[in-house]
Structure 1
Amino acid sequence: MDKIKPFLRWAGGKTWLTKHIDEFLPREFNDYFEPFIGGGAIFLHLKSKGYIKNKSYLSDSNPDLINAYRIIKSNPTDLIHLLDKFKNTEEEYYKIRKVFFDNNIENAAKFIYLNKTSFNGIYRVNSKGEYNVPYGHRKTKELFDFENILKISDLLDKTYFSVTDFKRKCKETKENDLIFLDPPYTVAHENNGFIQYNQSIFSWKNQIELSHILNSLEQKQTHFVLTNASHKSIDELYQIGVKNILSRASTIGGIGAKRTNYNEIIISNVRR
């Protein structure tokens, strides 16, 4: 199958990790879980390569994100028809940003459009739950890859989506399942630009909870692969599994942020 890429721009996306993820995988596993699905780069890689043979349970706390995935699975043609009407202009962006739809397909189209045209593809809402990221002034001829959206839709058989807390989803895993955990990074390793607003999304308390969850996964013999910031506090908190440090280039930076290389830590209990 041709290479399939995420349909979203996603701060902290893991497309770069697809080159390395194979070395952390078990030779075979039952069901696949990903409770911080985000842009879905790892899932799409594993599914398109045939590594995922059974059911996939993909979840996130962001209902707009999960709705977009569900619509791509069930109504990709209607979604594409709506996306094809959008224009990449500042006037159009702010007009669409303030519109509230009561239709799931229209909401999915709005979410994808704003993601593609906003500043750095960041997802951020205010205290009222209103999306408030400014226009990105991106110069691109083709906002959307409709062929890629259709390919993703074809991949989503035996795939189940839910808006679920990560702790609850982790409890559903069983022996010999595989779970990939990519939480929003809490600590600012090498001054990562999108940490500033992740504190409210995924706190240090959540990091502690996740470290305890890894122990539970190990006890019931669930395979896990966790990505996190390569930072002393993370290294000290997570005392389980095998740790590997990978270096990658930064792809997200706020105003004044430098785009540079930084390290990420991969923690896994996979034994091959």
Structure 2
Amino acid sequence: MLENISILKKKDPKPFLRWAGGKRWLKKELDLFVDIKNYEGYHEPFVGGGAILFHFQPTQAFISDTNKDLIDTYLAVKENPKSIVEILKGLKKDKDSYYEIRSKSFNDQFEKAAQFIYLNQFSFNGIYRVNSNGGYNVPYGYREKFNFDFDNIFYVSDYLQCVNITHCDFQDSLVNINEGSLIFLDPPYTIAHNQNGFIQYNQKIFSLDDQYRLDNAINQIKADGAYYILTNAAHKKVKEIFEKENDTIKEISRASVVGGRNSSRGQYSEYLFTNI
């Protein structure tokens, strides 16, 4: 698969998508207590941009998400990165081209994946949002001097050969968990509304019922003799739901990376729960 870039083969893959709520900032914290070689398989049911997946690079991994366009893109990159790269090379990087490409509908899986990657890179903050008809409707993001990392798409594809990729709900994704597995759980949540309107705002992206379903899933993970790491908003209701005897809770502060060019980006807290 990497015959055209064999000289570059030793480089590690990194996330090929921008993703709101991504966890690149969390890598150093996880390195303090996680050695991926100690676990029997890795599972990430809310994969998003895959920052932690590509950081750990487990040799046996199961990833999933409810976002079908996202999962279809991972599958296409896994199967045929060369076709996707060739399509991306032919796309112009300007505002008019962005809206033209956004308006198109493709049937070919590799054209659809190239479109997804292109829109992700040039949209406002890499946000994924669709209208009531399922059409992507994020505006142009005015990124300056951006160039695609085509080599990385090949690195990602090479790594994904050892990854099982599924479009499904997080509960359905846990059927492959074994004793000693590690499950990284990063459900969608807002941090800007941690203390003000958190419950109401999150109903739109990951409801309170979903949080309780996730708690039940964690109980099953523990019953199976597996290990979990959960990130979530630092809100009293979240703590009430997920606090468990003998498990660890850490409150981690970080700078918000979501917002407009002129927005105020302050410090926000997030919880990390784990039985490691």
TM-score, shorter chain, exceeding 0.5: yes
Structure 1 4/196 Cα, relative in aligned 2: closer, same or farther at 3 Å? Answer: farther
**Residue 122 of structure 1 aligns with which residue?**
127
**Residue 29 of structure 1 aligns with which residue?**
39
Which one of the candidate residues 92, 100, 103 is aligned to 1:95?
100
In structure 1, the gaps of 5 or more residues are none
Structure 1 256/170 Cα, relative in aligned 2: closer, same or farther at 3 Å? Answer: farther
**Residue 247 of structure 1 aligns with which residue?**
253
Contact 1:117–1:137 under 8 Å retained in 2: yes
Contact 1:190–1:262 under 8 Å retained in 2: no
Structure 1 197/147 Cα, relative in aligned 2: closer, same or farther at 3 Å? Answer: farther
Deviates further, 149-158 or 223-232: 149-158
For residues 83-131 of structure 1, the C-alpha deviation after alignment (integer angstroms, 9 at most, x for no partner) is: 1111221111111111100000000000000001111110001111111
What displacement does 1:74 show? 1.2
Which one of the candidate residues 52, 68, 79 is aligned to 1:63?
68
What displacement does 1:200 show? 2.4
Instruction: State the AA in 1 paired with 2:251.
Output: I
Inter-partner Cα distance in structure 2 for 1:126 and 1:190: 28
Inter-partner Cα distance in structure 1 for 2:14 and 2:197: 23
For residues 35-87 of structure 1, the C-alpha deviation after alignment (integer angstroms, 9 at most, x for no partner) is: 1000000000000xxxx23x211100111111111111111111100011112
Inter-partner Cα distance in structure 2 for 1:199 and 1:232: 16
| 1:7 matched to 2:22 | no
Inter-partner Cα distance in structure 2 for 1:236 and 1:256: 35
Runs of 4+ in 1 over 3 A off after TM superposition: 1-4, 190-193, 195-199, 254-257
What displacement does 1:24 show? 3.6
Write the mapping of 1:79-158 to structure 2, written as runs, cut at 5 A: 79-142=84-147, 144-158=148-162
SS in 2 for 1:233: helix
Structure 1 254/190 Cα, relative in aligned 2: closer, same or farther at 3 Å? Answer: farther
Inter-partner Cα distance in structure 1 for 2:160 and 2:74: 9
Contact 2:243–2:249 under 8 Å retained in 1: no
**Residue 178 of structure 1 aligns with which residue?**
182
Give me the TM-score of the superposition, normalised by structure 1: 0.90
What displacement does 1:157 show? 2.4
Contact 2:65–2:71 under 8 Å retained in 1: yes
**Residue 208 of structure 2 aligns with which residue?**
204
The alignment of Structure 1 onto Structure 2 pairs a total of residues equal to 263
**Residue 50 of structure 2 aligns with which residue?**
40
Structure 1 22/246 Cα, relative in aligned 2: closer, same or farther at 3 Å? Answer: same
In structure 2, the gaps of 5 or more residues are 1-9
SS in 2 for 1:245: strand
**Residue 218 of structure 1 aligns with which residue?**
222
